[in-house]
Structure 1
Amino acid sequence: MTRLDHLDPAVARAVRDLALRAETEDGIEALGEQTLLQLTGEADVVHLLLDRDAGTEGGSTAAAPLAGYAQLDRGTASAELVVDPGARRAGRGSALLGAVLTEGAATGLADLRVWAHGDLPGAQALAARSGLVVRRELWQMSRPLTEAAGPATATPPGVTPPGVTVRPFVVGQDEQAWLEVNARAFADHPEQGRMTLRDVEARQGEPWFRAEDLLLAEQDGRLVASAWMKVEPGAEDGELYALGVDPAAQGSGLGRHLTALVLAHLRDRGLARATLYVEAENAAAVRTYTRAGFERSRVDVQYG
Structure 2
Amino acid sequence: MSDVVNDVSGQRRIAVLEELAPQQVEDVLRLIGEAAAEDGQPAVSEQGRLQLKGRRTGVRHILLSDAEKELVGYGQLEDSDPVEAPAGEFVVHPARRGRGHGRALGNALLAESGKRLRVWAHGGHPAARHLAQVLGLSLFRELRQMRRPLNDLSLADPVLPEGVSVRTFRPGDDDAAWLAVNAAAFAHHPEQGSLTQRDLDDRKAEGWFDPEGFFLAEKAGEIVGFHWTKIHADQGLGEVYVVGVRPGAQGGGLGKALTTIGLRHLADQGLPTAMLYVDADNLPAVSVYERLGFATHEADLMYRTES
TM score, norm. by length of structure 2: 0.90
Task: Quote the Cα distance in structure 2 between the aligned partners of 1:51 and 1:234.
Answer: 30
Task: Quote the Cα distance in structure 1 between the aligned partners of 2:88 and 2:127.
Answer: 17
Q: Does 1:113 align with 2:118?
A: yes
The residue aligned with 1:255 is 255
Structure having the higher strand fraction is 2
Contact 1:52 1:87 in 2 (8 A): no
Task: Quote the Cα distance in structure 2 between the aligned partners of 1:235 and 1:85.
Answer: 21
Task: Quote the Cα distance in structure 2 between the aligned partners of 1:277 and 1:67.
Answer: 29
Contact 1:238 1:275 in 2 (8 A): yes
The residue aligned with 1:70 is 75
The residue aligned with 1:226 is 226
- In structure 2, which of residues 18, 33, 55 is the aligned counterpart of residue 5 of structure 1? 18
Task: Quote the Cα distance in structure 2 between the aligned partners of 1:214 and 1:53.
Answer: 47
Deviation string 1:148-188 (CA, Å, 9 cap, x unpaired) is xx633xx423x322111100000110000000000000001
Contact 2:35 2:93 in 1 (8 A): yes
Task: Quote the Cα distance in structure 1 between the aligned partners of 2:29 and 2:198.
Answer: 21
The residue aligned with 1:99 is 108
Task: Quote the Cα distance in structure 2 between the aligned partners of 1:52 and 1:19.
Answer: 17
Deviation string 1:223-244 (CA, Å, 9 cap, x unpaired) is 0000000112344110000100
The residue aligned with 2:4 is none
CA drift of 1:302 comes to 0.6
- In structure 1, which of residues 52, 74, 77 is the aligned counterpart of residue 66 of structure 2? 52
Q: Which amino acid aligns with 2:294?
A: F
Q: SS of the counterpart of 2:75?
A: strand
Correspondences of 1:85-164 after superposition (within 5 Å): 85-105=94-114, 110=116, 112-147=117-152, 151-152=154-155, 155-157=156-158, 159-164=159-164
Task: Quote the Cα distance in structure 2 between the aligned partners of 1:174 and 1:29.
Answer: 31
Task: Quote the Cα distance in structure 1 between the aligned partners of 2:26 and 2:197.
Answer: 24
Q: Which runs of 5+ in 2 are unaligned?
A: 1-13
The residue aligned with 2:27 is 14
Deviation string 1:23-68 (CA, Å, 9 cap, x unpaired) is 11111211100000001123121111111335xxxxx5xxx4x110
Q: Which amino acid aligns with 2:88?
A: A
Q: Does 1:79 align with 2:88?
A: yes
Instruction: Give the aligned length.
Output: 286
The residue aligned with 2:206 is 206
Q: SS of the counterpart of 1:80?
A: strand
Deviation string 1:203-256 (CA, Å, 9 cap, x unpaired) is 000010001111000011110000000112344110000100001100011001
Deviation string 1:273-295 (CA, Å, 9 cap, x unpaired) is 11000111111111111111111
Task: Quote the Cα distance in structure 2 between the aligned partners of 1:187 and 1:160.
Answer: 24
Task: Quote the Cα distance in structure 2 between the aligned partners of 1:201 and 1:233.
Answer: 21
Task: Quote the Cα distance in structure 1 between the aligned partners of 2:17 and 2:172.
Answer: 34
The residue aligned with 2:10 is none
Instruction: Give the superposed CA RMSD.
Output: 1.2
Q: SS of the counterpart of 2:113?
A: helix
Task: Quote the Cα distance in structure 1 between the aligned partners of 2:220 and 2:31.
Answer: 49
Task: Quote the Cα distance in structure 2 between the aligned partners of 1:209 and 1:233.
Answer: 12
Contact 1:207 1:232 in 2 (8 A): no
Task: Quote the Cα distance in structure 1 between the aligned partners of 2:239 and 2:270.
Answer: 13
Q: Which runs of 5+ in 1 are unaligned?
A: 55-59
- Gap change, CA 1:235 and 1:88, over 3 Å in 2: closer
TM score, norm. by length of structure 1: 0.91
Contact 2:160 2:253 in 1 (8 A): no
Q: Which 4+ residue blocks in structure 1 deviate beyond 6 angstroms?
A: none
Q: SS of the counterpart of 2:232?
A: coil
